Structure 1
Amino acid sequence: MDVSSFVLLSHEQALRRRLDVTANNMANTSTVGFKREQPLFHEYVEKTKEAPVEDAKKTSFVLDYGAVHDASQGAFQATGNPLDVMIDGPGYINVEAPGGGVAYTRAGFIKILETGDLATSGGQRILDENGRAINVPDDQKTMVTIAGDGTVMGRDGPLGRIAITTFDEINVSPRGDGLMEGTRGRVLTAREARLKIGGVEASNVQPIVETTTMIDILRSYQTSMRMTESLNDMRKQAIDKLGRVN
């Protein structure tokens, strides 16, 4: 393979990556709290000392540099459950990760476990500002309310406050189990935290936008394939001419 083929191959790999990300976005159109992803690519320029012309000394390849989340907020979906919450602004709810540690989510479905601990719909316990589970006494399970700053109120007063952590989106990545992991986060204070009660956040994926992106990827791939075919034709013609000269 010559340099031009490697360049086209790097482009096609980038298109495949874009397609994978776009397909995942489409699959999560109805996933509560899901943030659409956007792939990032990095240009890698390889320089050679010798080339037929000066411009040919630099060859540009496409490298996969990862993905970032679109931080725009999804719409509010009322659920009728007074414990369900939607974060109004940036941030993620702190939950206990499977296997230990802290994970994060925007999906605000909240329930009370048999143990009295507040948890997500997947059963992960919700953590307070000190990294501890928020427990509701048995005799207060029907009286629990959540305030706009995340404070969980029982009959006799506050039971804890739901921890909400903000990150630079570049520092947040999916764990693969519906939760997120993040680094360099900051827990919001009661004054900074804002929750809407009685509903959850819808996915911010726009199906029309993702469909348009898929069409663009397909057309780009078709163009790349036509260029590959043209290069193959050029090689065949060159080989044919060399054979005739010999």
Structure 2
Amino acid sequence: MSNAALHVARTGLDAQNMRMQVIANNLANVNTTGFKRDRASFETLAYQAMTAPGAASSESTKYATGTNLGTGVQINGTAKIDTQGSLQSTGNALDMAIEGPGYFQIQMPDGRTGYTRDGNFNLSQDGTLVNSDGFQLQPQIQIPEGAQNITIGADGTVSVTLAGQTEASEVGKIELARFINPAGLQAGGNNLLTETSASGQPQVGAAGVDGRGNIRQASLEGSNVNIVEELVDMIETQRAYEVNSKMISSTDQMLQYVNQNI
């Protein structure tokens, strides 16, 4: 029984340690553009049924509750909390933020499409819109050489004014992707997420249509990490870790008592 208690407490230490890692990652990315905080969820491990509820306790009676002993806890997953981050004006015409659901589409080097809320874009040497790592925005937007003014509408329409012209010319339209279950996207590096079977297929289209958010030019979306909430979660996790550690210490003392006195 005591050895089982040691195992249960160890699973608690492992789970709280993983939760602390999730919190640490949230706090580390408090200033990351478009970052969505993660939340760890827990589930019980299998129970040991010593006596099943309803089993016969005598010839004429049955156990009302039974005896079930838990074997511990584990983290069953981490999910991104997809709430809106605060929008910050930058004054840079190529910066974009999404107000509402949706993701920018990025062409990754391996040919797959990545999805991001990070709207920090720049121009490549040939005038195409790329993110800070040089990955192209999809669909590709080409800005003509000599463009004096770049305007990006709420629906994603990109227009430029060329030298010698008074009216703006449309050069492309940014499309956003939306997912039925955005929490099911696979997080990777470089602020990019990838599609999974859990997220469902992307629903791609113009911004502001079919539930997709609007695009705000010259702004960036900040992280949705709340430092105060994370610190409260960190203290709670630390206390839970200490309690499980105390359980191991107490169980060890019980085993020592048994070995010395029985």
- The reply to whether residue 187 of structure 1 matches residue 204 of structure 2 is yes
After TM superposition, the structure 1 = structure 2 runs for residues 51-200 of structure 1, keeping only pairs within 5 Å, are: 56-128=67-139, 133-140=140-147, 142-155=148-161, 157-167=169-179, 168-183=181-196, 184=200, 185-192=202-209, 193-200=213-220
Q: Any idea what SS the aligned residue of 2:191 has?
A: coil
**1:139-166: CA deviations, max 9, x gaps?**
43x3321111111123463222222111
Identity %: 29
**1:59-108: CA deviations, max 9, x gaps?**
24322222111111111111111221110001111011132211011111
Quick one: distance in 1 between partners of 2:94 and 2:71? 53
Q: Any idea what SS the aligned residue of 1:71 has?
A: coil
CA gap of 1:179–1:191, structure 2 versus 1, over 3 A, is: closer
Aligned partner of 2:47: which letter? E
Structure 2 partner of 1:19? 20
Quick one: distance in 2 between partners of 1:37 and 1:226? 28
Q: Which moved more, 1:166-175 or 1:152-161?
A: 152-161
Q: Any idea what SS the aligned residue of 1:104 has?
A: strand
Query: Which sections of structure 1, spanning at least 5 residues, go unmatched?
Result: none
Q: Which moved more, 1:60-69 or 1:82-91?
A: 60-69
**1:13-53: CA deviations, max 9, x gaps?**
110111000000000111111111001222222334579x9
- Coordinate RMSD, CA, aligned: 2.1
Query: Which sections of structure 2, spanning at least 5 residues, go unmatched?
Result: 53-62, 162-167
Structure with the higher fraction of residues in helix conformation: 1
TM-score (norm 2): 0.83
Check conservation: 1:68, 1:169, Cα contact below 8 A: no
**1:202-226: CA deviations, max 9, x gaps?**
1111111111111111111111111
Matched residues, number: 236
